[in-house]
Amino acid sequence: MKKLLFSVLIAASLFSCSNNDEEQVLSVADKKEVSMKNTDGTIVTAIQTEAFEKIISNLKKANENDKAASLTAKYKDDNGTMKLIGSAGKSSSSSAKSAAQITFQYRAHVTGKPENGHGWLPWFILGTPVGTMGESRRLEAIQFSNASSIPFFQARAHVQGHGWLPYVGLGDVVGTTGQERRAEAFQIFVPASFANQVVYRVYVQNIGWMPYVNNGEIAGTTGQGLRVESFQMNMVVIE
């Protein structure tokens, strides 16, 4: 009888260990490393602090606290830039987009003559401020470009004397040129298929940098007669 009882206990113990091992394997398999990627699939190695904090706030509001905690653990604050710790330079080939999509960029049209460094300024990549700050120059328009099309991308500007202009697509001028009219606000829609975290902000006369807003929200002011002077945008893929 004692031998039988001992055998039953041993069998139960082995069964329990087997189940625990399986649960641990499943647990490890279910936990995928959270990554923040550029729209071309490469890992983001640095991102401006306020943009990062806005993205983390978005994740928390969406109850994606695990993702927020994982990303926060990977980045550290260093002179205003959140820098990646660990897997810098790595990318996922399975989720990487085509090379044609790595060239998303934007530029600003600023009051003044081109020979004086104004008019259309050079193209810049995501995360870079475009326009001027502290020069009392109005930003009149912005333009977005990508090597391949982005279906359903659209943007519009709130312009002095006109109010909200109609939405335009990728490559079109968002605002006005040659009319000496200030842009006062922008509203941009980026499809989630291209980037699932989109934040942008503007530098406004008498205010400075306003907080980042999310995809589809208004950046700037309306009805206050204040010019936008600079624009900054970040888009990433969290997976």
- Summarised one tens digit per residue, pLDDT across range 72-110 is 988 887 777 777 664 333 333 333 333 334 568 999 999
Q: 213 and 30 in contact (C-beta within 8 Å)?
A: no
The Cα–Cα gap between 185 and 83 comes to: 30
For tokens 């989630």, the residue is: 192
Strand 213-214 vs strand 173-175: parallel, antiparallel, or unpaired? unpaired
SS3 161: coil
| Selection from 27-36, 37-46, 73-82, 157-166 with the highest mean pLDDT | 157-166
Q: Provide the pLDDT for residue 23.
A: 45
Q: Provide the pLDDT for residue 90.
A: 35
Phi, psi for 87 (deg, rounded to 5): -85, 35
C-alpha angle 83-89-94 in degrees, rounded to nearest 5: 120
Phi, psi for 33 (deg, rounded to 5): -70, 125
- Model-level pTM? 0.80
Model confidence at 40, pLDDT cuts 50, 70, 90, reads: confident
For 30-45, b where at least 16 C-beta lie within 10 A, e where not — what string? Answer: eeeebbbbbbbbebbe
Q: What confidence tens digit (pLDDT) does each residue in 194-221 have? A: 999 999 999 999 999 999 999 999 999 9
Q: Provide the pLDDT for residue 112.
A: 74
